[in-house]
Structure 1
Amino acid sequence: MKTIAVIGGGITGVTTAYALARRGLSVTLFEKNRYAAMETSFANGGQLSASNAEVWNHPSTLLKGLKWMLRNDAPLLVNPKPSWHKISWFAEFMAHLPHYERNTIETARLAVAAREHLFAWAQEEGIDFDLKKQGILHIYRDKAGFDHAGRVSELLARGGLPRRAVTPAEMKAIEPTLAGQYFGGYYTESDSTGDIHKFTNGLARAAERRGVRTLFGQDVQGVKAQGGGVQVTSADASGVAQHAFDAVVVCAGTASRQIAASLGDRINIYPVKGYSITVNLRDETSQRAAPQVSLLDDATKLVTSRLGVDRFRVAGTAEFNGFNKDIRADRIQPLIDWVQQCFPGVSTQSVVPWAGLRPMMPNMLPRVGRGRAPGVFYNTGHGHLGWTLSAVTADMIGDVVAEALLPRPMGAGQGAGAVAGHALTQA
């Protein structure tokens, strides 16, 4: 049986390990933390949001970034201190402005396809992750934002995602607890939400039942391609160990850039920090006052999810500040203020803050496909849509790896995942 290592135990690594195990490969998953989903997959916004597929490579993003440069509470914050990594990333980001429409359509197409896999896996494996299929409501306070959303909706439709414009009165009917004055909104009934941490851990256990060897608490020190195979060096409290495999899939989030460089590949991922708060709904008044329908406020770049009866998640913002993981009070406070403004009946007495580093590619598309060396593959760089896209990119890389490692019947052609993986690699 062919052996393959998966580097990273977040949502991307666990879905990848699971997809590979389903194809009959012998999989070993490496994760430096003691458990799965302890970093960027720990407390994100919770949205499975094909409706948020619009890539950021748009001139308006640059204008807003410049306008917000000196505001500590801005939705988009860039540390002005230069670094070659940051400069090269933004240069490539701007180079992809002409591909805004194409990449938005492609992302929507992937997000729609991802649902089929994720829901099927959860049902087959009996994973409870506070799934709520009540759609996502995008809210707009002015005509300019609403009009831009209309243009985005046309692109989403070309990617296979219908969503509809709604009036303020319709918004109130969809989510009665929402306070404030709005110009209008867009509602995507087919979108949903769930707890990424619960799902990832549930799928990790399912992967183990399917034979995946999970090595938690193992910090990968190096990956080397040699002799047609791959050697992974890892370390834990007992020392350093070396492991030999036929292949490796790098799903290491923001660490993927450094691992790729050691393997002769350039994957220009930048760590874009996002924040969230989990509001504990300790009383019945707060539980009734918190929304059931997921929201996305385009003006503030905040998203929400209702996780079970007693938790309300609010997340968002983008901070370009290197590998800094500090949870800043001046970045958390706007999230609390937003809850108090939009849902005044919700008590914010018990709030748990969090921050994570999104692995963002300059073109806003994940890197899915082969590396330069034989036996090296990547599934990484999903940015703010890792939860949304994880199942489909795992299935895609599963096809690519299986095609490379497993014998095929005479005359068999490429699977759909292999073709799509190649397209993303070249995007």
Structure 2
Amino acid sequence: MNRIAIIGAGVTGVTTAYALAQRGFDVTVFERHRYAAMETSFANGGQLSVSNAEVWNSAATVIKGLRWMLTRDAPLLLNPAPNWHKYSWIFEFLRQIPNYKANTVETVRLALQARENLLAIAEKENIQFDLERRGILHIYKDKASFDTAEKVNELLRKGGLDRDPVTNNEIHAIEPTMAGDFYGGFFTPSDSTGDIHKFTRGLADACARMGVDFCFDASISSITRDSSGLFTLIVDHTNPDNSDVADTRRHEFDSVVVCAGVNSRQFAAKLGDHVNVYPVKGYSITVCLEDEGSRSGAPWVSLLDDSAKIVTSRLGVDRFRVAGTAEINGFNRDIRADRIAPLTSWTRQYFPQVATSRVIPWAGLRPMLPSMLPKVGTGRLPGVFYNTGHGHLGWTLSAATAEAVAEVISRARASAGFAPA
């Protein structure tokens, strides 16, 4: 009675598999792609950023969004075309504005716990993922934006994070390669960066060594639960030698954990739950540092430009990741040139020594709940659990939410009279 199916092999699904395997459960992970970490966990901004834990449910964010609606390269872009899912999510998002402070503080606390867990896992399993523990530097061009950030800082401190104000001179001392003048900034020495794709793939390998079964190229067409509490998953397994031929199989489990990212809403509906995850698209570029001038001119300290909504991370010697923007436009995964261009322009403005002749663009869908807090815990049906909806902080929070849902599952099994073998 310890057979658990996990839907999704992104960072939340794989960390959940690891936490459950550590507790002795028999875990199978289903992933529709051929490998782990091929969607939102593929090429994000790379930050493990407790300092970016502020939720977006504020009147200021709404006002900015309305002002930017007609600007194609704006940091936040809303497609106003009518869609029930979109507008139901926006309505629930607006209802969460009164919880802005409490949700931000809770996110900070969760992120601090997750950071310690993730770094401990990486060390234990010897996962190499271009980790840089050089901190994250938030930069502000004017006094008004700095003063707003100072108010956010009070919430971060309340959650337990130390983030220090810095002057323009201190900004350039912390990251000497950066060009330009700033009113000021905030520096979080305890934050770090790395390659989420490398980490997730490395952790998936560790899970496999522990006995976790990964079913890739596997699309779940239905989930049912019988009167005994047994779940049956009907899964189409793609033939790797012939993608046009699918092998449909039945799989039976005692429990199901939904970690399906932006597809979590549809799986929740099959299981009788309302989990209103919406796909908020973000973009990134990976700048290939192919010459010595670019390598020496690119920053090692991670940056967050709050006005442009752009973050950066240095991924080893020869890669520089620049990511940002938010686009509320449904399940559209198109890589738009007018959304990539601001990332390249920003790089050229602040790091003129970095050549942008070879830039790899990417777009991914962040699985966001209206509250900006993930759904972690039980569903309506016994045996159904969730670890999803982490939004722009999936990697930052995953190692804590995986432990949390694994504890919930362990208690549920114990209360039913079963324990891991």
TM-score (norm 2): 0.96
Kept in 2, the 8 Å contact 1:167–1:183? The answer is: yes
User: What displacement does 1:407 show?
Assistant: 6.3
> How far 1:331 sits from its partner (Å)?
0.4
Deviations 1:269-290 (A, max 9, x none): 1100000000000011000000
**Does 345-354 or 236-245 show the bigger shift?**
236-245
Instruction: Indicate conservation of the 8 Å contact 1:68/1:76, yes or no.
Output: yes
2:348 partner letter: Q
SS of the aligned residue for 2:74 comes to coil
Q: Which residue of 2 aligns with 1:59?
A: 59
Q: Which runs of 5+ in 1 are unaligned?
A: 410-427
SS in structure 2 at match of 1:363: coil
Letter paired with 2:293? T
Residue matched to 1:373:
381
Matches within 5 A, 1:174-213: 174-213=174-213
Which residue identity is paired with 1:271? P
Distance in 2, Cα, partners of 1:355 & 1:124: 32
Contact 1:225 1:375 in 2 (8 A): no
Cα distance per residue 1:144-186 (max 9 Å; x no partner): 1101111111100111101000000000000001111210000
* CA–CA separation in structure 1 for the residues paired with 2:66 and 2:313: 29
AA aligned opposite 2:382: P
Task: Find out whether 1:340 has 2:341 as its counterpart.
Answer: no
Name the residue aligned to 1:297.
Answer: 305
How far did 1:225 drift? Answer: 2.5
Between the aligned partners of 1:54 and 1:262, the Cα distance in structure 2 is 32
- Rounded to whole Å, the distance in 2 between the matches of 1:61 and 1:222 is 38
- Could you tell me how far apart the structure 2 residues matched to 1:85 and 1:278 are? 32
Partners of 1:136 and 1:192 within 8 A in 2: yes
- Structure 1 CA distance for aligned equivalents of residues 6 and 222 of structure 2: 13
- 2:45 aligns to what SS in structure 1? coil
Q: For residue 231 of structure 1, what is the aligned residue in structure 2?
A: 232
Deviation at 1:406, TM superposition (A): 3.6
Q: Residue 178 of structure 2 aligns to which amino acid in structure 1?
A: L
- Could you tell me how far apart the structure 1 residues matched to 2:348 and 2:287 are? 11
**CA shift digits 1:309-339 (9 cap, x unpaired):** 0000000100000000000001000000000
1:34 corresponds in structure 2 to 34
Distance between the aligned counterparts of 2:397 and 2:224, measured in 1?
28
- The counterpart of 2:317, out of the listed 309, 314, 318, is 309
Give the corresponding residue for 1:256.
264
Match of 1:398 in 2: 406
Q: Distance in 2 between matches of 1:222 and 1:206?
A: 29
Measured against aligned partners, the alpha-carbon deviations of 1:360-408 in whole angstroms (never above 9, x if no partner) come to 0000000000000010000000000001000000000010011111469
Aligned 8 A contact 1:225 1:374 in 2: no
Once residues 14 and 385 of structure 2 are traced to their aligned partners in structure 1, the CA distance between those partners, rounded to angstroms, is 15
- Partner of 2:221 in structure 1? 221
Give the Cα–Cα distance (whole angstroms) in 2 for the partners of residues 40 and 304 of structure 1: 16
Partner SS, residue 219 of structure 1: strand
Cα offset, 1:228, TM superposition:
1.1
Letter aligned with residue 213 of structure 2: R
Equivalent residue letter for 2:190: S
Cα deviation, 1:193-247, whole Å, max 9, x if unaligned, reads 0100000000000001111001111112122232312111211233211100000
- Percent identity over paired residues: 63
Counterpart of 1:416 in structure 2 is: none
The alignment's TM-score, normalised by the length of structure 1, stands at 0.95
What residue in structure 2 maps to residue 358 of structure 1?
Answer: 366
How many equivalent residue pairs?
A: 411
Distance across 2 between alignment mates of 1:204 and 1:124? 14
**Match status 1:134 vs 2:134:** yes
Q: In structure 2, the residue corresponding to 1:130 is in which secondary structure? A: coil
Q: Which of these residues, 372, 390, 395, is aligned with residue 387 of structure 1?
A: 395
The question of 1:110 aligning with 2:110 is answered yes
Aligned residue number for residue 243 of structure 2: none
Q: Which consecutive residues of structure 2, in runs of 5 or more, have no partner in the other structure?
A: 239-245
Displacement of 1:20 after TM fit?
Answer: 0.4
Provide the secondary structure at the position in 1 that maps to 2:365: strand
Equivalent in the alignment of 2:241: none
Distance 1:137 1:149 in 2: 12
Q: Is the aligned partner of 1:45 residue 2:45?
A: yes
